[in-house]
Structure 1
Amino acid sequence: MDIDPNLARYSDLTFQTAFAVYVLAMLMFAGQYGSARVKKAHERELVGAPAAPHGSPGPRVGPVVQRSWRDKFGGMGYALIVVAAVSHFASLVLRGLATDRFPLGNMYEFTSAMVLVAVVSGLVFIRKPDQRPLWIFVLVPVVLLVFLCGTVLYADAAPVVPALQSFWLPIHVSLAVIGSGLFLVAGVASLMFLLRIRRPEGAEGGGFVGRIAEHLPSGQSLDRIAYRTTVIAFPIFGVGVILGAVWAEAAWGRFWGWDPKETMSFVTWIVYAAYLHARATAGWRDVKAAWINVTGFAMVVFNLFFINMVVSGLHSYAGLN
């Protein structure tokens, strides 16, 4: 199978462009967060200021100016994410064209595609202006994972090993990618929910955690984002596990062998089932359910890196799920 070096180079270039734009978008949302802090401080000053004499123009309307900058930063950050996602998608398409195969054949491609799914799902579920402060916390793992993709996990464009040259590859692995990307957004939303409920809206103090949480969306909004993304990801990831077992029967002559990757994927799916059950159970649907969701995403990350890169198993040759 011939590799097209020009397309492979363009794939790397668009990937690097996406990384740079993700970083720029994160800076825009950091600016939005900072503007919100200045706005709130200015509002406090105005509340404590003496009333203006009758007939005078009163204090300058500083909060309106600050809100304008806050909206501008948020709007620019959101637009930059769209640009980065388009460039990121182009990098995967070009990688596939360069290798003449489905571009999910190694850890670099799997993780890159997972991050892209997380970004696209964020564009769908975190699109309202009042939800956009959450983006900075989504972009932190996105930028970190893209950086790892381009450095530690990077692999030159090449054919896949014979065991992966199967029609099951785009089916099974795509489902795992979609589920894992959605779980990233759900995990961040649940983690921010846990921070937000420690700092109720309008409350003062709270130290460093309180300062981080004070401009997040409401706890209800964060919980809703986490639940909606998990509800979609859960069946997709589950079907991916089942079809992986079907592929294992065709490739290895057995449906299930308690390989480390199989076992960890199944346990992760069970944890998310526990989250959905807890989310519908009185007394568990808030803090306890959120902790289960965060635990589920921690297991996704553990499965992605530790199981793939450290533990030896039947999936080790693939370098992915």
Structure 2
Amino acid sequence: MTDYTLAQLSNYSVYSAMVVLTLAMLAHGLYLARIVPARESASTREEAPARELVAAGVGSEGSAASAEGAGGATADAVEAEPRSARKAAGIARMLTLLGTLLLVAGVVLRAAEVHRWPLGNMYEFAIVGAMFTLLAYVGWSTRRDLRWLGLFVVGPVLLVLGAATTVWYTDASELMPSLRSYWLAIHVTVATMTVAVFTLGAALGILYLVQDRLEASDAPPRSFMGRLPSARALERMTYGAHIIAFPMWTFTVIAGAIWARQAWGSYWNWDPKEVWSFVIWVVYAAYLHARATTGWKRQNAVWIALGGFVCVVLNFAVVNLFLVGMHSYSGL
């Protein structure tokens, strides 16, 4: 099979994944739209007993959280889901899984086409990062009910894939000499995996801030956010995602310094990419410190985490394109 054929198959796989994921996004939205009447009714009935259970403690904070169910809703609320909502959720899950498999195929075919690890330019970074984000979501979904989160994961992934195929796409090319190292597979792969987890954490953080504001207003659960878990549960999930991602980003920065020593003769060169990677590390370290510090509101801590994600986006979409340095590998 020629490289040209592999390139066509890779592109077809990515385009097919985008079509399937678009349908998955619609199905996720339909699930949220269909579940709201039953979820609101059930939450109204169970509000008092649920609060009594949490107040009792049940032994620990984690036990209280389990009373909310896998996705933050009560067991009765899940059982009260209308059949149309369950059907839409099932379709959304299958389409998301299919879209993920198609994207994986696109990445594998791209790797076969270029005869190397597919992380040599912006286009490849984008499709691999989108793939890891979907894999993280699908994998997490096997452990708990995250049907309510699908819309907020698939949507951003589609935006990234859209930019990758229209703005950042480049044909296969040889790697620059400094990139021809096994550190490409280690350093850049871990970096893209970390960005995937940061993306999930940012989505959860935004949902938490909105949910917390609505709960503080004591408004009846009739808004769109009434379909999602409680603010308390969303904040714990946000923290959990960042607890996983932060050590991975720490490894990314250290591995990058080791690779820089081999490629350029110095561990640190004050390159724009190196500086921004360190800025990201500092901001997320500040979030984790604020989260563990007595007297800090968790809402303020989450705002710091979202600031860290803004730095991640700038590092990828701005630094790679507009700041010239040793890491000018966008391919554009």
Q: Distance in 2 between matches of 1:261 and 1:128?
A: 35
Q: Distance in 1 between matches of 2:310 and 2:224?
A: 21
Query: Which residue of the other structure, out of 117, 138, 147, is the alignment partner of 1:102?
Result: 117
Q: CA deviation at 1:130?
A: 5.0
Instruction: Classify the secondary structure of the residue corresponding to 2:111.
Output: helix
Matches within 5 A, 1:240-259: 240-259=252-271
The yes-or-no answer on 1:274 pairing with 2:286 is yes
The yes-or-no answer on 1:319 pairing with 2:324 is no
Give the TM-score taking structure 1 as reference length: 0.85
* Contact 1:85-1:119 within 8 A present in 2 as well: yes
Q: 1:42 to 1:175 in 2, by over 3 A?
A: closer
Query: Which residue of the other structure, out of 116, 119, 123, is the alignment partner of 2:131?
Result: 116
Q: 1:7 to 1:32 in 2, by over 3 A?
A: same
Q: Distance in 1 between matches of 2:40 and 2:225?
A: 15
1:92-132 deviation line (CA, Å, top 9, x unaligned): 11111111111111111111111111111112334567532
Matches within 5 A, 1:1-321: 4-39=3-38, 67-127=82-142, 130-200=145-215, 203-204=218-219, 211-284=223-296, 286-316=298-328, 318-319=329-330
Query: What stretches of structure 2 of length at least 5 have no aligned partner?
Result: 44-77
Instruction: Classify the secondary structure of the residue corresponding to 1:199.
Output: helix
How many residue pairs match? The answer is: 298
Q: 1:218 to 1:205 in 2, by over 3 A?
A: closer
Structure 2 letter corresponding to 1:75: G
Counterpart residue number, 1:47: none
Q: CA deviation at 1:39?
A: 4.0
Q: CA deviation at 1:201?
A: 9.7
Structure 1 letter corresponding to 2:274: E
Instruction: Classify the secondary structure of the residue corresponding to 1:214.
Output: helix
Give the TM-score taking structure 2 as reference length: 0.82
* Contact 2:9-2:109 within 8 A present in 1 as well: yes
Supply the RMSD in Å over aligned alpha carbons.
2.6
Identity %: 35
Q: Distance in 1 between matches of 2:39 and 2:227?
A: 10
* Contact 1:175-1:236 within 8 A present in 2 as well: yes
* Contact 2:38-2:81 within 8 A present in 1 as well: yes
* Contact 1:268-1:299 within 8 A present in 2 as well: yes
Q: Distance in 1 between matches of 2:158 and 2:201?
A: 17
Q: CA deviation at 1:3?
A: 6.6
Counterpart residue number, 2:46: none
Q: Distance in 2 between matches of 1:201 and 1:275?
A: 22
1:239-273 deviation line (CA, Å, top 9, x unaligned): 11111111111111111111111001001011111
Query: What stretches of structure 1 of length at least 5 have no aligned partner?
Result: 45-62
Instruction: Classify the secondary structure of the residue corresponding to 1:197.
Output: helix
1:195-254 deviation line (CA, Å, top 9, x unaligned): 111122995369xxx833221222222222222221111111111111111111111111
Structure 1 letter corresponding to 2:14: F
Instruction: Classify the secondary structure of the residue corresponding to 2:293.
Output: coil
